[in-house]
């Protein structure tokens, strides 16, 4: 049988987790834009439909963006869960 207090804590974490995820998305977008600018000197990465960019550049931009977003999301989610545990004594995940 599940612990009701633990279930309540996990439920309380959901809105906080959503807010942390949104902030993580903003941070990831900023980090990717900065990194792309440092690597290429361009202000924006090419979109998939940018006619004036080669396949290699479009795919490299997409792969880098996915890696940055994945790493930032994992770091932000883990930090949020760790902070929640320190504040409440309950781990919000499985």
Domain boundaries, the chain: 46-89
- Mean pLDDT, residues 35-44: 94
Helix (H) or strand (E) holding 83: helix 55-88
Mean pLDDT in residue range 59-66: 96
Q: What is the pLDDT of residue 2?
A: 61
Q: What is the pLDDT of residues 16-38, one digit of tens each?
A: 888 888 989 999 999 999 999 99
Helix-, strand-, coil-residue percentages of the chain, each rounded to 5: 75, 0, 25
What is the C-alpha to C-alpha distance for residues 83 and 87, in angstroms, rounded to an integer? 6
């Amino acid at each position: 049988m599940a612990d009701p207090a633990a279930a309540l804590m996990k439920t309380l974490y959901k809105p906080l987790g959503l807010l942390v995820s949104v902030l993580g998305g903003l941070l990831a977008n900023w980090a990717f834009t900065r990194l792309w600018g440092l690597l290429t000197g361009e202000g924006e990465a090419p979109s998939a439909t940018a006619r004036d960019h080669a396949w290699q550049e479009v795919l490299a931009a997409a792969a880098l963006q996915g890696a940055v977003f994945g790493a930032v999301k994992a770091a932000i989610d883990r930090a949020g869960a760790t902070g929640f545990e320190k504040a409440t004594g309950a781990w919000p995940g499985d």
